[in-house]
Amino acid sequence: MAKTCNVALIGTKFMGKAHSNAFLQAPRFFDMKTKPVMKVIVGNDPAGTEAAAGQFGWEEWSTDWKAVVNRPDIDIVDISSPGNLHAPMAIAAAKAGKHIICEKPLANTVKEAKDMLAAVEKAGVKHMCGFTYRFNPAVISIKHMIDQGDLGRIFHVRGCYQQDWIVDPEFPVNWRLQKKTAGSGALGDIGAHITDLAQYLVGDVAEVAAATETFIKQRPLADAQMTIASKAGKKSSKKGTVDVDDAAVWVARFKGSDALGTFEATRFAPGRRNYNCIEIYGSKGSIIWNQEDMHKFQYYNAADAGDRQGFRTVNATDSGHPYTANWWPPAHNIGYEHLFTHEVYEFITQLGRKKVTYPTFADGLKVQLVLDAIERAAKSRKWEKV
């Protein structure tokens, strides 16, 4: 194993910041035989990209992603750009023989996702799709409990990802609110996460029935640089059309199981900032977890004595939960940014392995197939197979 690997990160803002921090922190807190070197960060605006390089500690910056992915000194390309750029960037990086981390949703269409998977498989490079919440110790512990049968036969899976950042009709049309850049709205952005979590924890979705809605169809046009969190960018007095969903709800059946799934992805749940929640109810017990209280989960064990039945709170920072030994003593708690550090640690540590444990482009494609079925079902108002 090489002692170092050179990284190029495409994206300088929300995920650019999260991933930069992860490359900085991973070798400091984890024992990594191969350490990442933060070679070059890539954005689409020179001033912002130069500033990001300085702030986050990248050696160089560029606005030419094509040149960067073809540089012979780059080993890993990390794609944290809007969805419409994932396929061209990943396919070019694969052709250049780079290992690739790509943000979720893997692509904007099933065809793009299939092409991306074919490209990385042909090139024989490692590939990860950024389903970040899989790297939460609480979620991994829940997975372990389900796999060893602690919940028994699963009856219900409820996935719900609620946010409220565009309830204000004056919030402008940024790239996330346009089909040509984002593919879909709440569905692809946050519905992708709960779909992946459900498939990771319980099994593949087989069919869905769905409804989607766009509550506010016209909004002020935005400065192209606006991100998810910035309301302060330049706004135009002209209006633009929102051609993606603001919210999606669906019910699902799983392959090889009679469990029922109910799901909701919305940007219109006032008061819910990042309520990414999964509830699983089984014959032997139940689990409830949500990212707003990310280190804890509720566990009900049906075998508890009658005088102490009820949900207990498990703090997943105690020893016995993954990654905790690398951070702080129990209940000193980790945060959102640590999940990305775990991603980077796993990706780089497993570079030389045949089989990997993290979500790959194949998982990204599986999610894309479900998202596609949800969009078809919302249109047809019928059950649609994945």
Ligand X SMILES: NC(=O)c1ccc[n+]([C@@H]2O[C@H](COP(=O)([O-])OP(=O)(O)OC[C@H]3O[C@@H](n4cnc5c(N)ncnc54)[C@H](O)[C@@H]3O)[C@@H](O)[C@H]2O)c1
Q: How far is the CB of 132 from ligand X (least distance, A)?
A: 4
Q: DSSP class of residue 190?
A: I
Q: What is the side-by-side order of every strand in the sheet holding 154-162? A: 312-315, 296-301, 285-290, 275-282, 154-162, 260-266, 247-254, 205-213, 384-385
Q: How deeply is 330 buried, as exposed, middle or buried, from its count of CB atoms within 10 A (0-12, 13-18, 19+)?
A: middle
Tell which one of 5, 6, 12, 247 touches ligand X (CB under 6 A): 12
Pick the closer one to ligand X by CB: 15 or 265. 15
Amino acid at site 56: F
Q: How far is the CB of 89 from ligand X (least distance, A)?
A: 8
Contact string (CB under 6 A) for ligand X, positions 69-108, x = contact: -----------xxxx-x-----------------xx----
Do 269 and 162 contact (CB within 8 A), yes or no?
yes
Query: How many residues would you count in the chain?
Result: 386
Pick the closer one to ligand X by CB: 89 or 209. 89
Pick the closer one to ligand X by CB: 11 or 185. 11
Number of residues that bind ligand X (CB under 6 A): 24
Q: How far is the CB of 228 from ligand X (least distance, A)?
A: 5
Do 288 and 277 contact (CB within 8 A), yes or no?
yes
The reply to whether 196 sits near ligand X by the rule CB under 6 A is no
3-state secondary structure of 18: helix
3-state secondary structure of 133: helix
**Which one of the spans 12-20, 109-117, 155-163, 285-293 is the region binding ligand X (CB under 6 A)?**
12-20
- What's the rounded Cα separation, in Å, for the pair 177 and 149? 41
Task: Write out the binding residues for ligand X, residues 205-264 only, by CB under 6 A.
Answer: 227-228
Task: Write out the binding residues for ligand X, residues 116-155 only, by CB under 6 A.
Answer: 130, 132
Positions touching ligand X (CB under 6 A) are: 10-16, 42-45, 65, 80-83, 85, 103-104, 130, 132, 189, 227-228
